Amino acid sequence: MTKETSFQLSDAETIKKNAPAAEPERQYYFIQKVREILRARFEADVASGEALKRYGQEQLDRLLESGSFGTFCITTFGCQMNARDSEKLQGILEECGFLEAPSEDADFVLYNTCTVRENANLKVYGRLGYLNSQKKKHPSMMIALCGCMMQEEQVVEKIRKSYRFVDVIFGTHNIFKLAELIFDRLSKKGMVVDVWKGTDQIVEDLPTDRKYPFKSGVNIMFGCNNFCSYCIVPYVRGRERSRESEEIIKEIESLVADGVIEVMLLGQNVNSYGKTLETPITFAGLLRRVEKIEGLRRIRFMTSHPKDLSDELIEVMRDSKKICRHLHLPLQSGSSRILKEMNRRYTKEQYLSLVDKIKTAIPDISLTTDIIVGFPGETEEDFEETMDVVRKVRYDSAFTFIYSRRTGTPAASMENQVPEDVVKRRFDRLLEEVQAISAEVCGRDTGTVQEVLAEEVNDHAEGFLTGRLGNNTVVHFEGGPELLGTLVDVHLDESRGFYYMGTLVKKENQGGNDNEKA
C-alpha cells in the first residue's frame, strides 16, 4: 500500500463524531470506514502497479478474486481463550477487507499474546525483532499487539520505548474495538494504545471466523476470581463475568446451523459459571440446555476447578450422550501444604476423593491435568506428594510446568524460591512418570471400535486423516478428505503411546450434521 490515499486526515474527526455510540453498531460503522480507506488505497496501488510488486501475481489474483484490499496474519500465543479471541479478531479483519496471508509478510500482523509464564512473554519480544525487519521492507505494514501481556503496564511501557514501530496496542477487554482502533491508526501518526483496566461489558454479535468449520470454542464466561497465588490471569483478564445462557444457546444454535458438530465451552473456571447472573444458573444446568440442541454431537469444556466441581455436574456428565468422556482437572500440586500456599482451596485428600467419585460414576472417563513444579517453598516431600497423586490418579496426560515468577502475584514475593537446578531435576522426574503412565493408560481402548471426529488431513502420511476420540485421544487412520468434519467409526488397531493407529470401519450416515446419534 502506498501512502497516497483519497482519505483526508481532516475527515477523521467528523467520521468519529458521527459514529453511533451503541455497540456493536459502532464497530460495524468503523468496519465500513476502514473498508473504504483500504479499498481506495488498494485500487490506487493496483492502478500504479505498486500492488503487483507488493503481492506478486498469485496473491494479487487471490485478493482481486475475493474482493479483499490487503492481507493479514494473526499469531496466537496462550490458551483456548486466546484462540477464541483470535477467531473474533479474524472475523473483524475479514469484514474490514483483509484476506488471510500464509505468512507474516502481510499488511496487518497481529500478535495475540500470553503472559502466564515468562517464556510465553519472551517469545513475543523475540519475534517482534523479526517483524521490525519486515516492516522496514514494507513501511505501510501495520503491527498490532493484543492479549494478556498488554494488560501489564510495564510491558506497554517497554514497547512504547523500545519497539516504536508497533502501530496498535490493545488489551483483553476491548478486542471488539479492533476496527475502530485500525481506523484511529489510519487517521493519525504514531502508536495507538487502548488498554482497559477492566470491564463489565460483554459485546455480542460481532463477526467471527472459525479455524475449523465443524468445531468451535464458545466462551461461557470471562475472567477469573480465584487468585491462585502464582497466577497472573485474574490481573490480566479481570473479574469473572458469565454470559447469559440465552446468548450462549443462541450462539451454539447458529454454529450448529453453520455446520458445527462439536463445541468446547470455555472459561477459566467453568464450574462457577452463572453465579453472578441475575437469574443464577449452574454450569450443570447450562450443560443440560446445551445437550438439547439438535444437531450438536459433542460437548467439551475447559477448565474445571476441583474446588467447585459439583455432584450435579458428575451426574449430568454420566447421563449425557453428548458430553465427552474427558475431564481436565488441574491438580497444580499434590501437597496440601503447597496447595494452601497456592490458594487452591482443596487438599490432596479432597482432590483424590473427588477423582474417586468421578471414576466411580463414569468409569471410562479420561482425566488430564496441569501441574506446577517448583512453587516457592516446595520441598522434596511436597514434590513426592505430587508424584503420589500422579501415580494414584493415572492421568491420560498431564501438562507439566516449571513455576514461573509473575510480577504482581503474591507468590512472586515469597522468599523461599526453589533453586533452578532442583526444580529442573524434579521436573524431569515428573515428566518421566507422567509419560510412562500415560503410555499405558492411553492404550486402554486398543482393539475396540470407537467414534472418531475426522479433523485434519495428516501432513506426514499420505492418504491418512487425524481425528479425536470423545476422550480427546488422537487417532490416525486411512481416509479421504471428504470425511473431514464427520464422525466415523474406527477400529483402534494399535496404541503408540499418545495416539492410536486405526482402520476406518464405516462411514457415518450421509447428511451428517443433523443426525442424532442413536
Binding site for ligand SF4 (CB under 6 A): 224, 226-228, 231, 233-234, 268-269, 305
Which residues of 246-365 form beta strands (DSSP E)? 262-266, 298-302, 326-328
Applying CB under 6 A, which of residues 92, 148, 206, 221 lies at the interface with ligand F3S? Answer: 148
CA distance 26 to 418: 51
Edge-to-edge strand ranges of the sheet holding 366-373: 326-328, 366-373, 397-402
Residue 51 contacts residue 42 (beta carbons within 8 Å): yes
Hey, what's the cell of 70?
A: 490487503
Q: Give one DSSP letter per residue of 361-423, joined into a string.
A: H-TT-EEEEEEEE--TT--HHHHHHHHHHHHHH--SEEEEEE----TTSGGGG-S-PPPHHHH
- Please report, as residue ranges, which positions from 334 to 373 form the binding site for ligand SAH (by CB under 6 A): 370, 372
Hey, what's the cell of 401?
A: 510446568
At a CB cut-off of 8 Å and minimum separation 6, what does 319 contact? none
Opening angle at CA 297, ends 459 and 81, nearest 5: 65
221 lies in the site for ligand F3S, by CB under 6 A: no
Applying CB under 6 A, which of residues 99, 175, 231, 290 lies at the interface with ligand SAH? Answer: 231
236 lies in the site for ligand F3S, by CB under 6 A: yes
Select from ligand F3S, ligand SF4, ligand SAH, none the partner in contact with residue 410, using the beta carbon and a kind-dependent cut-off of 5 to 8 Å.
none
**Under rule CB under 6 A, how many of the chain's residues touch ligand F3S?**
11
CA distance 453 to 469: 7
Residue 328 contacts residue 369 (beta carbons within 8 Å): yes
- Please report, as residue ranges, which positions from 130 to 189 form the binding site for ligand SAH (by CB under 6 A): none
116 lies in the site for ligand F3S, by CB under 6 A: yes
CA distances (Å), 366 to each of 3, 326, 470, in order? 56, 5, 9
CA distance 63 to 85: 25
Opening angle at CA 348, ends 377 and 418, nearest 5: 15
Applying CB under 6 A, which of residues 86, 115, 121, 282 lies at the interface with ligand F3S? Answer: 115
Contact stretch for ligand F3S (CB under 6 A) within 78-86, 211-219, 276-284, 290-298: 78-86
Q: How far is the CB of 80 from ligand SF4 (least distance, A)?
A: 12
230 lies in the site for ligand SAH, by CB under 6 A: yes
Amino acid at 133: S
Q: How far is the CB of 386 from ligand SAH (least distance, A)?
A: 12
Residue 469 contacts residue 445 (beta carbons within 8 Å): yes
Residue 93 contacts residue 65 (beta carbons within 8 Å): no
146 lies in the site for ligand F3S, by CB under 6 A: no
- Please report, as residue ranges, which positions from 471 to 510 form the binding site for ligand SAH (by CB under 6 A): none
Q: How far is the CB of 107 from ligand SF4 (least distance, A)?
A: 35
At a CB cut-off of 8 Å and minimum separation 6, what does 248 contact? 218, 220, 265, 286, 290
Select from ligand SF4, ligand F3S, ligand SAH, none the partner in contact with residue 227, using the beta carbon and a kind-dependent cut-off of 5 to 8 Å.
ligand SF4
Task: State the alpha helices, DSSP H only, in 175-282.
Answer: 178-187, 233-237, 245-257
| Residue 220 or 475 having the CB closest to ligand F3S | 220
Select from ligand SAH, ligand SF4, ligand F3S, none the partner in contact with residue 434, using the beta carbon and a kind-dependent cut-off of 5 to 8 Å.
none
Fill in the per-residue mask, 309 to 338: x = in contact with ligand SAH (CB under 6 A), - = not in contact. ---------------------x-x------
Select from ligand SAH, ligand SF4, ligand F3S, none the partner in contact with residue 450, using the beta carbon and a kind-dependent cut-off of 5 to 8 Å.
none
Select from ligand SF4, ligand F3S, ligand SAH, none the partner in contact with residue 495, using the beta carbon and a kind-dependent cut-off of 5 to 8 Å.
none
Select from ligand F3S, ligand SF4, ligand SAH, none the partner in contact with residue 78, using the beta carbon and a kind-dependent cut-off of 5 to 8 Å.
ligand F3S
Select from ligand SF4, ligand SAH, ligand F3S, none the partner in contact with residue 300, using the beta carbon and a kind-dependent cut-off of 5 to 8 Å.
none
Select from ligand SF4, ligand SAH, ligand F3S, none the partner in contact with residue 117, using the beta carbon and a kind-dependent cut-off of 5 to 8 Å.
ligand SAH
| Residue 63 or 116 having the CB closest to ligand F3S | 116
**SS3 labels along 29-57:** HHHHHHHHHHHHHHHHHHHHCHHHHHHHH
Q: How far is the CB of 239 from ligand F3S (least distance, A)?
A: 14
Residue 274 contacts residue 280 (beta carbons within 8 Å): yes
CA 245 to chain CA centroid, nearest Å: 21
Select from ligand SF4, ligand F3S, ligand SAH, none the partner in contact with residue 400, using the beta carbon and a kind-dependent cut-off of 5 to 8 Å.
none
390 lies in the site for ligand SAH, by CB under 6 A: no
Residue 145 contacts residue 111 (beta carbons within 8 Å): yes
Applying CB under 6 A, which of residues 27, 82, 397, 466 lies at the interface with ligand F3S? Answer: 82
Hey, what's the cell of 459?
A: 501432513
Q: How far is the CB of 512 from ligand F3S (least distance, A)?
A: 32
Q: How far is the CB of 265 from ligand SAH (least distance, A)?
A: 13
| Contact residues for ligand SAH, defined by CB under 6 A | 116-117, 230-231, 233, 268-269, 303, 305, 330, 332, 370, 372, 401, 403-404, 406
| Contact residues for ligand F3S, defined by CB under 6 A | 78-79, 81-82, 114-116, 148, 233, 236-237
